[in-house]
Amino acid sequence: MTFSFNKILRTTFLLCALHISLFLIMFPSVCIETGKSAINVCLTSVVPALFPFLICSGFFSASGAAAACSRYLSPLMRPLFKLPGCSAMAFVLGIVSGYPVGAACAKDLYGTGQCTKAEAEQMCAFCNNSGPLFIISVVGCGFLGSPQAGRYLYASHIISAIIVGIIFRFYKSHERIPRLRTLPSKPLSDVKNAVGIFGSVMDSSVFTMLKICGFILFFTVFAASLPKTGFTPYLHSLLEITGGIKQIAALKLSLDTRMCIISFFAAFSGISVILQVGAITAPSGLSLMPFIAGKLLQGLISAGITSLLLRFFPITQAIFLQQKSPADIISAEPLDILFYSLSVIFAIVVVFCAILAALAFFRKRMNDTRL
């Protein structure tokens, strides 16, 4: 008797649902309080931090701006990652926003025909990362009590993502678009008018945001229902990184060991994020396996880089400060998080415009020189 992967996955989800149902019946008050906490984190930190980036990602792909960037940024992205220039926005949004904006951007680029399936799957493998707001503020300042530790973790996180992107440049190389070719893209007037684009992007972003919050709520309650053992912090991190990393930070281990473990799980992202990405990319037919392989590889590389940083540049300051929850650190003022997200998006747009202008200027100078 053979079992397919989908049958095994469905059976696993069914068992998890039964487990949570029993937990709801036996400990309803715990489930209610845990659910309230998860919803509070979603409303006060996750939504204001991610929603503007989801809108930006969708509008960037649907409006034709990605096609304009592709022509100028391909000379930068092709040699390094073997990706079209439009992937630069997916990479930048992926490292400054948080899970799963990078994957959503890759899906949008593929859906609008601006990259191949193999290129979109490669983008998902390394453009989908945790944001600085979480790693530096929540993990570094809150859980470890050290901004320096947060900066080390974030540096390891981004460097490992770039290394994974370089490694995955060989992924399905026969399905790539040749360097001198560009995928045909329709002009803005042929796709939709501006109002139609914004409306469809808003609908998609709201639906994606609801799915993200649903996954966070489900896995937060599921993690709370697990029996408390010595392995619980690691299992919790494997399921959902925020609560799991908080438990790992409180373990009686050396700082170096805790930071390496945290670095791995922050890069791996956890089953909750993996399923979030799957829910976003599955309708487009993108495979989830490159993302899982990329995050696992990134976790190992990130832990190694963190170990090297701590070995050559050890943290000497006292780090055992009072720990705080994510809501205490980044959720006290949701409007501040929203303004932070909008200011980052504005800065990205300004930088990209400056890069495009500089590349256009140098391109014109080179053409004039040839003439």
> pLDDT digit string (tens) for 253-296?
888 999 999 999 999 988 888 888 888 888 888 888 899 999 99
Q: Is there a domain that residue 7 lies in? A: no
Provide the pLDDT confidence category of residue 170 given band limits of 50, 70 and 90.
Answer: confident
Provide the pLDDT confidence category of residue 60 given band limits of 50, 70 and 90.
Answer: confident
User: What angle, rounded to 10 degrees, do the helices at 65-81 and 87-96 form?
Assistant: 80
Structurally, how many domains does the chain consist of?
1
Percentage of the chain beyond pLDDT 90 is 14
Provide the pLDDT confidence category of residue 145 given band limits of 50, 70 and 90.
Answer: confident
**96-127 burial code (b ≥16 CB/10 A, e <16):** bbbbbbbbbbbbbbbbbebbbebbbbbbbbbb
Residue at token pair 């893209």: 185
Provide the pLDDT confidence category of residue 211 given band limits of 50, 70 and 90.
Answer: confident
Task: Report whether 323 contacts 145 (CB < 8 A).
Answer: yes
- Examine the pLDDT at 322 and tell me if it is beyond 70: no
Q: Is there a domain that residue 37 lies in? A: no
Residue at token pair 């073997």: 82
CA distance 93 to 112: 18
Predicted TM-score (pTM) of the model is: 0.79
Q: Is there a domain that residue 353 lies in? A: yes
Most confident range, picked from 111-120, 216-225, 247-256, 302-311: 302-311
The C-alpha R_g of the chain, in whole angstroms, comes to: 21
Residue 361, pLDDT score: 67
Look at 261 and 64; give whichever has higher pLDDT. Answer: 261
Residue 294, pLDDT score: 93
Q: Name which of 25, 93, 32, 26 is nearest 59 in CA terms.
A: 93
Residue at token pair 């509008």: 59
Most confident range, picked from 37-41, 149-153, 218-222, 357-361: 149-153
Residue 216, pLDDT score: 83
Residue 6, pLDDT score: 67
Q: Is there a domain that residue 278 lies in? A: yes
Q: Is there a domain that residue 246 lies in? A: yes
Provide the pLDDT confidence category of residue 91 given band limits of 50, 70 and 90.
Answer: confident
Average pLDDT over every residue of 307-318 = 82
- Examine the pLDDT at 59 and tell me if it is beyond 70: yes
Q: Is there a domain that residue 307 lies in? A: yes
Q: Is residue 231 exposed (0-12), middle (13-18) or buried (19+ Cβ within 10 Å)? A: exposed
How is residue 1 written in tokens?
């008797």
Q: Is there a domain that residue 179 lies in? A: yes
Q: Is there a domain that residue 233 lies in? A: yes
CA distance 258 to 252: 9
Does residue 100 have a cis bond before it (omega within 30 degrees)? yes
Mean pLDDT, the chain, as a whole number? 79
Average pLDDT over every residue of 40-56 = 80
Provide the pLDDT confidence category of residue 93 given band limits of 50, 70 and 90.
Answer: confident
Q: Which of the 8 DSSP states describes residue 331?
A: S
Residue 177, pLDDT score: 57
> Which residues are within 8 A (CB) of 217 and not within 5 positions of it... i.e. 6 or more apart?
35, 38, 39, 42
Structural domain that includes position 292: 45-370
Q: Name which of 240, 298, 244 is nearest 273 in CA terms.
A: 240
Provide the pLDDT confidence category of residue 310 given band limits of 50, 70 and 90.
Answer: very high
